[in-house]
Chain A
Amino acid sequence: MAIFSVYVVNKAGGLIYQFDNYVPRAEAEKTFSYPLDLVLKIHDEKVVVSFGQRDGIRGMSSVATSSGVFRILLFAIGSQLSPEVGSSGIEMLETDMFKLHCFQTLTGIKFIVLADPRQSGIDALLRKIYEIYSDFALKNPFYSLEMPIRCELFDQNLKGALEIAEKAGNFGPGS
C-alpha cells in the first residue's frame, strides 16, 4: 500500500478524521512529542528532514497522530522555517521513508496525506478528497461542522479514491 495515511484537520487544529493504511514494521520505535528534535534543512525550495543516526533510527516510518503535534508541526514550524515571507505552512514534507502532503482550503480545513515517496498524483488525490468531504460529510445534514467525521459513505468513497490513486496515480476527468 503506497498511501499510508489520510488525516483531516479542522479550522481549530483538531483532528476530525484519520485513516491509517500502513502497518509499521518497526525495527525500533520512538515516540516524539513537541518540541521535536528534528534536524531540518532547506534543500532547493523544500524543507527536507534529515535525521541523524539516533538510536538506530534512520528514517520515520510512522507518525504520531496527536492533533496538537500536527498543528504545531505543520504550521508553526513551517511558517517560521520558510525562507519565503508570508508562508502559509508546509505543503510537502519529504523524507526517505515517506512524503507528507498537505492541502489547505480557503475555509481553513486541512487535508493531509502520508504516502510513499514514489507515489505520484497526490495533488489530484487531495483535491478528490476535498470533493468527497464536500459531498459525503457536508451534504449529510446530520454531520456537524468541525466535528469528527463518522460518515460511512465518506469512509467508503475515501477508500475507493485511495485505491484508484494507488493503481493509476491520477484521476481522469469526470471521476
Chain B
Amino acid sequence: MSRQSNRTTDSKKMNSELFTLTYGALVTQLCKDYENDEEVNKQLDKMGYNIGVRLIEDFLARSSVGRCQDFRETADVIAKVAFKMYLGITPSVTNWSPAGDEFSLILESNPLVDFVELPDNHSTLVYSNLLCGVLRGALEMVQMAVDVKFAQDSLRGDNVTEIRMKFIKRIEENLPAGDE
C-alpha cells in the first residue's frame, strides 16, 4: 500500500551522527578518488548543485514561502527558514555590500563538521563546499544566479565559518508566465 508520509518531526528524526559520518565518508572517498583538493571542491559543489535543484521544491512545498521581493528578503528566508529547516541552525546575515547585492552568512556551528579536523595535506580543501552548491542550485531554480563561496572556514583556522553570497543576475529565459 502507499506509504503514508509522516511529516511530524519525531518520526523523521535521523541521528545527526549518522549524517556527519555519511558526509565524512563522502568527502574522504572523493579525496581518495581525485587526490586533488581543487577537484574535490568542484565535485562537492556539483553534488551540492544537484541536491539544491531538488531541495528547493521540497522547501517551497513545505514552507509555503512566497516569492521574495528583493535580495535582502532572500537572505532572511535562507538564514531563518531554510537553514533552520534543514540543518537546525540559524546563521546570521551580515556584511551587506553597499549595492545590496552581496552578503555573508555567519555560521556559529556547522553540523557537517562535527568532530572533523583537517590534516595539513588537505589545507585547500573546502570541506563543506556541498553547501555552496546547494544554495547555488536552489536559487537557480527560482531564477536567481548567485555566486556562493566560503570566505572563512573554522576548519582552516578562522574563528567563524562565513559563506559569502553574491547576486549575479535574474535568469530570464524560463521565467514562469506572468513574472517580469
Contacts and interface: CB of A to CB of B under 8 A. Distances in A.
A106 interface: yes
Contacts of A75: 177-178
Binding site secondary structure of chain B: loop
B53 A11 contact: no
B177 A159 contact: no
Contacts of B141: 107
Residue among B3, B4, B175, B180 with most chain A CB within 10 A: B3
A89 B177 contact: yes
Contacts of A79: 177-178
Interface string B152-169: 000000000000000000
B6 interface: yes
A11 B60 CA distance: 16
A5 B64 CA distance: 24
A142 B58 CA distance: 17
Contacts of B3: 153, 156-157
Contacts of A133: 57, 61
B61 A131 contact: yes
Interface string A76-120: 101100000011110000000000000011111100000000000
A153 B2 contact: yes
A157 B2 contact: yes
Given A87-B178, A88-B178, A174-B8, A107 B56 contact: yes
B174 interface: yes
Interface string B36-71: 000000000000000001101110111010110000
Given A105-B176, A131-B62, 10 more contacts: A11-B174, A87-B178, A104-B176, A107-B57, A107-B60, A130-B60, A131-B5, A138-B58, A145-B53, A153-B2
Pick the 10 closest A-B CB pairs, nearest first: A88-B178, A156-B2, A75-B177, A134-B58, A134-B57, A138-B54, A134-B61, A160-B2, A108-B176, A130-B61
